[in-house]
A and B are shown apart, each in its own frame.
Chain A
Amino acid sequence: MRLLKDALASKAMLFLTFFPSLIVFLIIVGLYLRSRPILAEKPLLFLLFSSSWAPGRGDFGFFPFIMGTLWVTAVALIVAVPISLFASIYLSEYAPRAVQEFIRPMIDLLAGLPSVIYGVWGVLLIVPLVARIAPFFGATSSGYSILAGGLVLAIMIFPTIIYVSLEVISSIPYELREASLSLGATKWETVKHVVLKKGLQGIIAAIVLGLSRALGETMAVLMVVGNIPKVPKSVFDGGYPLPALIANNYGEMMSVPLYDSALMLAAGVLLVIVLVFNVLARIILVRVERRAG
């Protein structure tokens, strides 16, 4: 009886274990099936590179949205990468244990804050700030801009980059550092020549994970980025990233023909880009881990 129970449970659990891989597969298939109607009308490349967006007339050009996504993500990376890398090196190489243990929960919390909260905060603080500093760069801006979106996004991806690079850095054997220090190198020189060189692959993976997080972030960006469906020319312009497009139009998408199909295609495109980055980063990380273990 007990053995039977065990055998049954084992079968059921084995079955469940295929579930996560199945979901990845189902999401891709589901989105593809729903976006087929629009792909039947127009070729994918045309949709991706056309700038004309007028759902009422049946024009679905994703180019402004793709550019919006790229701009916002680029700003976020430029801000977030140096800060989070320096922060994680500090945490792993310099900070005493007590400081580490004090700071870790804070980064946890930063990762756990809902994106709407980031959005509200962005509206309260970052948007007025951007509007204020724009004139110094000879631009006028309402504040709802690529720059505001990028700054909020940068803070949101701090935890991802910091955590993954911390993990990578801590997998580098301590003996290597000792060897370098004993040769008379300063701590920073050790970091530069040993830690960064050894951990380079893993750090790139950390950045890529941050990047893919940034690509898909929706609500916070949506609330501060301005949502103007034009290709942005400067960071003070408003933009309209892909996720924001999907989120903003859920209401009307069932009433305009092909609209829902276009939005599902947008979600599909987003998913494929994010998946490619994610899988790449994970493969690098698995390899780094194996080498360390």
Chain B
Amino acid sequence: MRQPPAPRNLRRRKIEENFFRVLMATSILIVIACLGLIVGTIIWKGLPALSLSMITETPKGGYYLGREGGILNAIVGSLYLASGATLLAVVFSLPIVLFINVYARKTSRLATWTRFSFDVLWGVPSIVYGAFGFIIMIFMGLRASLLAGIITVALLELPIMSRAMDEVIRLVPFELLEASYSLGATKLETALKVVVRQSLPGILTAILIAFGRGIGDAASVLFTAGFTDRLPTSLLQPAATLPLAIFFQLGTPFPEVQARAYASAALLTGIILLVSLLARGLIKKYTRHVI
């Protein structure tokens, strides 16, 4: 450790302390202000342009030139896509997370390695998932479709969901598992009936976080889900998505259509806000019932 500085520069040190304190407070204010500015601008610009017909109608002819219609196709497409992808991701990530926490020991090599791969996957850019999804799609002989989009987005969601689940399932006390084993339960029964129940709100939160990420991602569905003005009726048809609808509408030179892009952006922001509020509520509930 350094020597304690002499008292005569106490004033200078005090000034330095205060200087950095102000700097830090400013930084955190900037971060918060950015969030406020983004949400504020989007809602302020988007809300006036939002109308009932926008969320209840599909695009009519010439919609992108400023004529009649709405973005129901994109809303429905996004909901289908994100729900399907989230479901698929749960099917893979829940067993994996249970396995590394119940079957393998929490600190075993396999568990560490799996967490590490999830972290690495978490860092893969969504455009790369898009490109990979495209390759799978061609490999499986699919065209751009709801199914291809679901597979791609599920891959994107997998690491996010798994890491979030792992965080809560890891916290289940080992004594609880031992209690269950001592009653004669197998590991599978313990995993499903004790661990899952104990961390259910946390698991639901993880699912919601992943859903929010899935519904907002554009780069990964660009190649794989396609875009259409109709509502998808089967997994093999292309599907419109909300983020892409925003992107395409903003790209037109017509102010009316751009206003609709703002409205769609406000809608998407609203969905994200709702999902994260739900997730937050679940966390609160979770901490209340934890043993």
A contact residues vs B (CB 8 Å cutoff): 2-3, 5-6, 9-10, 12-14, 16-17, 19-21, 23-24, 26-27, 30-31, 33-34, 82-87, 89-91, 94-95, 103, 105-110, 112-121, 123-125, 155, 158, 162, 179-180, 183-189, 191, 193, 209, 212-213, 215-219, 223, 243, 246-247, 250, 263-264, 267, 270-271, 274-275, 277-279, 282, 286
CB of B269, distance to nearest CB on chain A (Å)? 6
CB-CB under 8 A for A217 and B125, given A106-B35, A119-B247 = yes
Stretch of B50-58, B154-162, B229-237 lying at the A interface? B154-162
B45 on interface, CB distance cutoff 8 Å: yes
> Which label, helix, strand, loop or mixed, suits the secondary structure of the B interface?
helix
A274 touches B123 (CB 8 A): yes
B residues in contact with A212, CB < 8 Å = 123
B187 on interface, CB distance cutoff 8 Å: yes
Selected from B31, B126, B212, the residue in CB contact (under 8 A) with A87 is B31
Stretch of B59-67, B171-179, B193-201, B214-222 lying at the A interface? B214-222
Tell me which residues from 13 to 33 in chain B have a Cβ below 8 Å from any Cβ of chain A: 13-14, 16-17, 20-21, 23-28, 30-32
B residues in contact with A246, CB < 8 Å = 127, 130-131
In the bound complex, how far is the Cα of B209 from the Cα of A16, in angstroms?
22
B38 touches A218 (CB 8 A): no
Give the residue among A91, A112, A158, A286 with the most B Cβ atoms within 10 A.
A112
In the bound complex, how far is the Cα of B92 from the Cα of A170, in angstroms?
32
B residues in contact with A185, CB < 8 Å = 4
Give the residue among A12, A31, A113, A180 with the most B Cβ atoms within 10 A.
A113
Closest 6 CB pairs of A and B: A216-B125, A114-B216, A90-B24, A86-B27, A13-B99, A267-B131
B34 on interface, CB distance cutoff 8 Å: yes
CB of B123, distance to nearest CB on chain A (Å)? 4
A residues in contact with B189, CB < 8 Å = 2, 6
Residue of B nearest to A185 (CB): B4
Tell me which residues from 211 to 258 in chain B have a Cβ below 8 Å from any Cβ of chain A: 212-213, 215-219, 222-223, 243, 246-247, 250
B residues in contact with A223, CB < 8 Å = 247, 250
B27 touches A16 (CB 8 A): no
Selected from A12, A116, A179, A263, the residue in CB contact (under 8 A) with B243 is A116
B1 touches A20 (CB 8 A): no
CB of A185, distance to nearest CB on chain B (Å)? 8
In the bound complex, how far is the Cα of B96 from the Cα of A23, in angstroms?
14
B98 on interface, CB distance cutoff 8 Å: yes
Query: Can you give 24 contacting A-B residue pairs, CB < 8 Å?
Result: A14-B103, A16-B95, A23-B121, A31-B128, A34-B135, A83-B27, A83-B30, A87-B24, A106-B31, A109-B273, A115-B243, A116-B243, A120-B262, A184-B4, A186-B14, A186-B17, A189-B13, A212-B123, A247-B222, A263-B131, A264-B131, A267-B132, A274-B123, A275-B120
CB-CB under 8 A for A114 and B272, given A13-B99, A14-B99 = yes
B2 on interface, CB distance cutoff 8 Å: yes
In the bound complex, how far is the Cα of B245 from the Cα of A199, in angstroms?
44
